[in-house]
Structure 1
């Protein structure tokens, strides 16, 4: 299999999922250059994550529970959250709840895409293996991004619940990412029977979050008023 084929197979799932969630914005899609910038920041985030995770493994060992919930999900989701909160949470283009989902998914899938490229070349992965990874870790990162972005959107547009929603936007992705990793590390022979319902739940919940975020858009009311005036 050629280098180009492997590279395209590793990159395609992340780009396709980002396009899917980008186009789910019903009322006002975000600037492509800003979404692309967040995707790029997600790619660059892989390098400090690798350094920190290596340091934590030396300090805490490789116990599956500690690795799953602290070293893997804790480090990755916190740095994604930190990046989104300080770069786009107060940005003027973040003007409806669904925007939190778009930007969080962009960062998450940028991270997942480079991670997938590294895996493909370091493990000489086949196309079938990359397809499995598209269903599991790549789409998993997208689901964690949806969770994070949904609650960031609620935090921005519901000041009374801001602190609580900010906590949810960090804790929930860490928890579900940790569950995801722990299943893969611990259930060596029967992981698929746990992973299938887990992914079905995460996808179902994510689509519900997408619909709820769109339904809360202030632009929805503006569009409705414009139609009435016409």
Structure 2
């Protein structure tokens, strides 16, 4: 009986491989390696998320006291609008090789809680120091152009660096860095918007709140994403080019770019006389460039998937037409449509097959580009076993 697998909707039966092809399986390491595929990261995920939630509750309590509960609720509801816009964009970017849910939750909570707490503590410290030393408050322009970019980007960047450190197997390219950076930035912007919306309502009423919402929520919801993306992209690029402490140089380079872009943005808003011209001449081109870069990176992901899976196809693990389907959005959609049409539906099994095949391609990419180690080799072996298991699950009677 022909196995009803994703390749079948394209070109008939799929080659069912036997033992691991020696052409692609690397020699065993000198000592036995017991390393299950790293879908989690031990204690970091629960501890990191728990700490971030606790900090978040403290931030909420601070806002409730500073703004009032009703103002906090209004600001929170309005802040959900730009947050939704950004998270939908992040989901689109992350569709090809989705990041683990726990990592995305940690990224969001770090941005929304920990980064904001760091910024608030530093701001309070600066104000107290200035008042004690000079008997005056800090200069607002200096705060906007120097303090805010420096403190906020460092705070957000530390969260991305933590994710890289404790989720190394999932963080291996610029798209991963972009997704994590955008999620951290989305969380930070969400909390910051609550504060700005609440202050606008208190100080200027509904008219001021409406104007602030339009400017921050509709015209520039991606501002923080654009800044922090520099850090995430740099770490992702470094993950493909260096090992060990060398990643810190990439982190610092990306962080410097993020701080500079943030300072440019804030400085232009602080000193510009024509806000519309500023938006058209500075913000729109930066946003357009970011879109182009994102599209190019997504195309690169598809190319890597195709090239690496074709290597496995040459060894009998996939058939070439199946690889073409796995390496294109249209092919994946067709596979899922086929899965939904079965009785019973086999959508979960096909999704698992697509996800494991994609991770296999990117694991292979790391190996062939000189980033191989015993753990990656173990991951490759286990992913090949998972792909074979996915095939059996798809073709099982009554699946």
Q: Which bracket does the TM-score occupy, shorter chain normalised? A: 0.7 to 0.9
1:156 pairs with 2:232: no
Match of 1:33 among 96, 102, 108: 102
Give the secondary structure class of the aligned counterpart of 2:97.
Answer: coil
Structure with greater Cα Rg = 2
- Alpha-carbon contact 2:75-2:195 (below 8 Å) kept: no
Are the structure 2 counterparts of residues 27 and 52 from structure 1 closer, same or farther at C-alpha, using a change threshold of 3 Å? same
Ranges in structure 2 where 5+ consecutive residues have no aligned partner = 1-69, 131-137, 202-207, 312-317, 323-399
TM-score (norm 1): 0.84
Ranges in structure 1 where 5+ consecutive residues have no aligned partner = none
- The equivalent residue for 2:204 is none
Structure showing the higher helix proportion among its residues = 1
- Number of residue pairs matched by the alignment: 227
Are the structure 2 counterparts of residues 93 and 58 from structure 1 closer, same or farther at C-alpha, using a change threshold of 3 Å? same
Give the secondary structure class of the aligned counterpart of 1:116.
Answer: helix
- The equivalent residue for 2:259 is 174
Cα deviation per residue 1:137-182 (whole Å; 9 max; x = unaligned)? 5321011132222222101112288555323310111001001111
Bigger Cα displacement from structure 2, 205-214 vs 105-114: 205-214
CA displacement at 1:59 relative to structure 2:
4.5
- Alpha-carbon contact 2:74-2:198 (below 8 Å) kept: no
Q: Distance in 2 between matches of 1:58 and 1:208?
A: 44
Q: Distance in 2 between matches of 1:85 and 1:214?
A: 22
Greater relative contact order (Cα < 8 A, sep 6+)? 1
Are the structure 2 counterparts of residues 78 and 136 from structure 1 closer, same or farther at C-alpha, using a change threshold of 3 Å? farther
- The equivalent residue for 1:22 is 91
Q: Distance in 2 between matches of 1:227 and 1:90?
A: 35
- The equivalent residue for 1:221 is 307
- Alpha-carbon contact 2:149-2:262 (below 8 Å) kept: yes
1:199 pairs with 2:268: no
Question: Matches of residues 1-230 of structure 1 in structure 2 within 5 Å?
Answer: 6-44=75-113, 45-59=115-129, 61-62=138-139, 64=141, 66-91=142-167, 92-124=169-201, 125-136=208-219, 138-159=221-242, 162=247, 164-187=249-272, 189-217=273-301, 218-223=304-309, 226=318, 228=320, 230=322
Q: Distance in 1 between matches of 2:307 and 2:165?
A: 22
- Alpha-carbon contact 1:39-1:106 (below 8 Å) kept: yes
TM-score (norm 2): 0.51
Are the structure 2 counterparts of residues 5 and 224 from structure 1 closer, same or farther at C-alpha, using a change threshold of 3 Å? farther
Give the secondary structure class of the aligned counterpart of 2:98.
Answer: coil
Give the secondary structure class of the aligned counterpart of 1:108.
Answer: helix
Q: Distance in 1 between matches of 2:248 and 2:214?
A: 39
CA displacement at 1:54 relative to structure 2:
2.9
Cα deviation per residue 1:182-221 (whole Å; 9 max; x = unaligned)? 112222x323312332111221221233134334444453
